[in-house]
A and B are shown apart, each in its own frame.
Chain A
Amino acid sequence: MKDLKLNLLALLVLIGLSVAVVLLKPINLGLDLRGGISFVLQPDIAYSLQQEYERYAKDMELKAREKGIKVLDVIPSKEGIRVELVEEEDVKKLSELVEKQFPRFSVVRSEKGSVLISLKEREIEQFKSGVLTQTIEVLRKRIDELGVVQPVITRIGEDRVLVELPGVLDLQKAKSIVGRTALLELKLVVEAGPKEVLQGKLTKDYELLPSLQGNEWFLVEKLPVITGADLKTAYTSTDEFGMPAVAFELNEKGAEAFAKATEKNIGRRLAIVLDKRVVSAPVIRSRISDRGQISGNFTPEEAKELAIVLRAGALPTRVEFLQETVVGPSLGKDAIEQGIRAGVGAFILLVLVLLARYKTAGITATFSILLNALMLWAGLVLLGGTLTLPGIAGIILNMGIAVDSNVLIFERVKEELRLGNTVRKSIELGYRRTLNAVWDTHITLLVAALILFQFGSGPVKGFATTLTIGTIASFISNVYYAKVLLELLSRLRLFKI
């Protein structure tokens, strides 16, 4: 008797806590139910590695020449920096130089005076995770500027980023905000003209860039005067013809460099380069220090987007869209309505079947279905899980599965009663003799549900989460409380099966 009371008390506490959790904390709805846009992005790490090597190549060449090493050529690629030497004996000197002055690098291969230098394994790992973190940071800033409520920007897997923008429906805009590298560079123009002519004049210190429309070509200095990293802020404005433009202000370091370069190059053209395309190339008329303007036939919308991405900063590398999903607002609303209707329908039918077959014991089974659903919901909220469309199916399905153990126990109790056992003994035996099978059913289901987690984020994860929590909740509500409730019934002399 004492045991039963304690058990019932614990049950009440459990129900109270679950109800409190459910009432106090709203559940996270997945994007498929709320509507919005989601992307899976992959930063191009190879590309940014190559850029990193390009940054160091020049320095390495200089340092090597200082040491008296005769360098024929230095070629950066995504594998590393290849240094061609005139004399093979210099290989050793070069290795020493790398070891001493460039400790992040090491010599990977050398054959016949051609040496490949690349970042050390550990450094590459660090570089990769740095690119990812930076990508996420920049994206977060940009998305915050858009004013999206409760966005998700998170790393998934080894080298991918998941972006979820609830409530956003304009795919094109979202893509141009999220996907644009937005690398701003201001470079001095050497010459403008047809591509073929300029190609002949290309040297190692110059690069050839197309205009935004692709119809003009510019030969510019490779080393930028300033970049987007030197910006203090950017905002929309209008140019002298009243067209939408983006104005920017420079930070101290940027202003200094800009002033020096403009002063020295009055009369030359300065190319404003965005993601390797020349937006415009005005002539420098006077010394400019801390502010400037970008104009290039923007629509007001484009100017606004450009200002946002410039303020938030450039992505460390270009990104590729692996997956994109847009869910309109009506889909989720319909799905929730249909889910509720199906859930209520299924529950009523289930209760009818249980009452018809198990009489008063059917009431306890009904109770354990409800308890199970309650605990499942509370568990989902507590663990910060997300409710998705398949997740709804999972919850309702769980009602059917949760009842399984009850049925198993009840059928056995009936059998024991037929064999002439007393009610109490039958409950005890029916419970004990089915315990093995109950374990089995829960474990096999749990195994299947856990395997689903490897599919990563998204709707399937919602399905897996609800089923996992549901299976555990079902274990508590059925295995433990099925017996307690049956005992209660028999003590109240209401037990009829």
Chain B
Amino acid sequence: MKQIPFMSLRLYAYLVSLLLLLLSLISLGTRGLNLGLDFTGGSVLELKFQQKISLSQVRKTLEELGYEHFQVQDTAQGTIIIKLRLGESKEKALEGLKKLSNYELIRSESIGGIITAELRQKAIWSILIALGGILLYLGYRFEPLWAFSAILALAHDVLIVVGAYSITYREVSLDVVASLLIVAGYSVTDTVVVFDRIRENLRIRKATPLRELIDLSINQTLARTLMTSLTTFVVSFVLFLLGGPAISNIMFAFVVGVVVGTLSSIFVASAIMLDIKSRLKPEPAGSV
């Protein structure tokens, strides 16, 4: 089988990664995240009017009712979503909008400040705990340097996925954070499989330089990496397309995460490990 010299290509891979990271960071810095109700508090109402009602009609009615800060948007399903700020009563809006036309209440949700503050904290903690837990596990399974490289690759994946939410300005709700954690767990397994193979090869081929060994290992596991990514991608992509707005938004993390995670476990994780290792100790052939 033809071998692909992944390690020689790593500079290009770094370039692509840095570009994506930069884009993510810029978007996060300027646009920020479209945080969902779970994290901002307030109310969301989704209504389906029986007659055709325009967004500006809804806006006008709400203004007449005395609301100042609100957002109105329509959906592909023909419903209208109204977001109210924390502390504004939704009952008044629900009552007042009946004047426009009769409507069906699709959903309405209100979250107070105590819960959002808690959820925000929990979301951050859970991401940190997940990263920490994965790091510990990797540290136990592999050398610290390997674990460190895998975590860097993982952080890279997570950051780019979050960046993608910022760039597309999709809503980041609690579900999305949950999905992000699973993406993280999932993306690290790809890297683990490659590392596992490198370790196995280290035992058998003691004379091969690390760089060649990594290339060999990635090539050996390539079919597997691509196949599992493909199967997961297929499933998440179908869900993204057909699953309806709520599921679609959750699955976006997977669609982006699987692609980025696959690239990073092929190009980034081992490459970082190789680079740090050769920086630390210029490597004579055969040593590890």
Contact = CB atoms under 8 A, between A and B. Distances in A.
A139 interface: no
Given A335-B247, A467-B182, A322 B137 contact: no
B122 interface: yes
A459 B244 CA distance: 16
Of the candidates A400, A408, A445, the one having the most CB atoms from chain B within 10 angstroms of its own CB is A400
Given A325-B109, A353-B230, A460-B175, A437 B196 contact: yes
A440 interface: yes
Of the candidates A40, A342, A353, A449, the one having the most CB atoms from chain B within 10 angstroms of its own CB is A342
A448 B236 contact: no
Of the candidates A326, A349, A389, the one having the most CB atoms from chain B within 10 angstroms of its own CB is A326
A447 B141 CA distance: 15
A401 B236 CA distance: 10
B238 A389 contact: no
Contacts of B174: 455, 459-460
Nearest to A324: B110
Interface stretch (A73-81, A123-131, A179-187, A391-399): A391-399
Contact of A328 (B105, B119, B196, B224): B105
A390 B178 contact: yes
A328 B107 contact: yes
A231 interface: no
Query: B-side binding surface: helix, strand, loop or mixed?
Result: helix
Given A323-B115, A452-B126, A400 B232 contact: yes
Nearest to B220: A415
A451 B133 contact: yes
B107 A326 contact: yes
Contact of B91 (A40, A172, A440, A441): A172
Interface string B263-282: 00000000000000000000
Interface in A314-338: 320-328, 330-331, 334-335, 338
A42 B137 contact: no
Nearest to B141: A440
A444 B115 CA distance: 29
Contacts of A441: 189, 192-193
Given A328-B105, A390-B250, A415-B220, A451 B181 contact: yes
B122 to A, nearest CB: 6
A350 B231 contact: yes
B239 A447 contact: no
A353 B126 contact: no
Nearest to A389: B246
Contacts of A464: 178
Contacts, number: 199
A424 B23 CA distance: 50
Of the candidates A42, A321, A350, A440, the one having the most CB atoms from chain B within 10 angstroms of its own CB is A440
Contacts of B181: 448, 451-452
Contacts of B175: 390, 459-460, 463
A331 B232 CA distance: 27
A390 B141 CA distance: 32
B70 interface: no
Interface in A170-212: 171-172
B107 A448 contact: no
A213 interface: no
Interface in B101-135: 104-112, 114-115, 119, 122, 125-126, 129-130, 133-134
A300 interface: no
A443 interface: yes
Interface in B204-247: 220-221, 223-224, 227-228, 230-236, 238-239, 241-244, 246-247
Given A328-B107, A448-B185, 17 more contacts: A323-B110, A323-B111, A327-B107, A338-B243, A341-B242, A349-B234, A390-B178, A390-B246, A392-B243, A397-B251, A400-B231, A401-B186, A407-B224, A440-B192, A445-B189, A447-B185, A455-B122
Closest 10 CB pairs of A and B: A448-B185, A400-B235, A338-B244, A441-B189, A342-B242, A346-B238, A400-B232, A411-B224, A326-B108, A346-B235
10 contacts: A321-B110, A330-B106, A334-B244, A339-B243, A346-B234, A353-B227, A357-B227, A444-B192, A445-B189, A463-B179
Interface of B: 46, 48, 77, 91, 94, 104-112, 114-115, 119, 122, 125-126, 129-130, 133-134, 137, 141, 174-175, 178-179, 181-182, 184-186, 188-189, 192-193, 196, 200, 220-221, 223-224, 227-228, 230-236, 238-239, 241-244, 246-247, 250-251, 254
